[in-house]
Amino acid sequence: MAHNHTKFLIYPISEKAVSIEFGQKIEAEIMKRISNLNRLILENPFIGLDCTVPAYTTLTLFYNPVKVISDKNLSGKFCFDKVSNYLSQMAQTNDNSIEKPKDIINIPVCYDEQFGLDLDELSILHQVPKEKIIKLHSSAIYTVFMIGFVPGFAYLGGMPELLASPRKLTPRKFIPAGSVGIAGQQTGIYPLETPGGWQIIGKTPLTLFDVNREQPSLLKAGDSVKFNPISLANFQSYHEDKD
């Protein structure tokens, strides 16, 4: 059932979805491989491919079995064979040497205490002044590992080690949309008001997810991101512009 290869493993997760897995560790090389393979597949889709879902070490293809079973271009008896064979072939064709130049997406963040609900707590935890936390957080270039949890929620890797922080013992019932948080070695932005256990350090005035945009999510897996600190006055002017 599973296709084994030295570099990857392919297995179904449903009658309508097959995953390819490259190891079980977060690694820049793996992220790049997944991102390239994803692009290759989206440029060369098979009939019945509904969408792809990139994650840390996996790429999952969702498909319509009724269309796939009658696709003569794919070899195999069952849909998951057909999709697995396609995926295996694509993974071996995937040339990982291609480096697509990436623009850095700048995200303004206001680290004012009215938004940075946990800045004081983190300052005590890490025994550094708040300003240092803000400086470290806004100096790194992050990579979007994956979009998950709720629409448009980007898990960002590449945070300075010193900022790594445990989740809150009791999650908050409501975290305002736009809040920037830290959990473990990752940072992320809450696109919607949801419950959440991440340590909140600031807030962006940008809309992370909007169904009316062609690409509703501001960020997608593989993007590079940098946070730019803005003042409270500047933050408020964003909202005035919008109104």
**CB contact set of 205 (below 8 Å; sequence gap of 6+):** 108, 110, 178, 230, 235, 238, 239
Site residues (CB under 8 A) for another protein?
1, 11-17, 19, 21, 24-26, 50-58, 60, 62, 65-66, 69, 78-80, 146-153, 155, 192, 194, 209, 211, 215-217, 220-221
To another protein, the closest distance from the beta carbon of 190 in angstroms equals 12
Interatomic CA distance for residues 23 and 231, integer angstroms: 42
Q: Which is nearer to another protein, 30 or 117 (CB)?
A: 30
**51 vs 98 by CB, closer to another protein:** 51
CA 236 to chain centre: 27
CB-wise, 42 or 232, nearer to another protein? 42
Other Cβ atoms within 10 Å of 240 Cβ, number: 7
Q: Look up residue 115 and give its DSSP letter.
A: T
CB of 192 to another protein, least distance (A): 6
Q: For another protein, which is the closer residue by CB, 56 or 235?
A: 56
Total residues belonging to the chain: 243
Phi, psi of 109 (to 5 degrees): -135, 130
For the CB of residue 41, give the shortest distance to another protein in the complex, in Å: 11
Q: Considering the complex, what minimum distance in angstroms separates the CB of residue 122 from another protein?
A: 22
- Tell me the chain's radius of gyration from C-alpha atoms: 20
Closest of 67, 61, 63, 78 to residue 10, by C-alpha:
61
Nearer to another protein, 54 or 202 (CB): 54
Q: Whole-number minimum distance, CB 78 to another protein, in Å?
A: 5
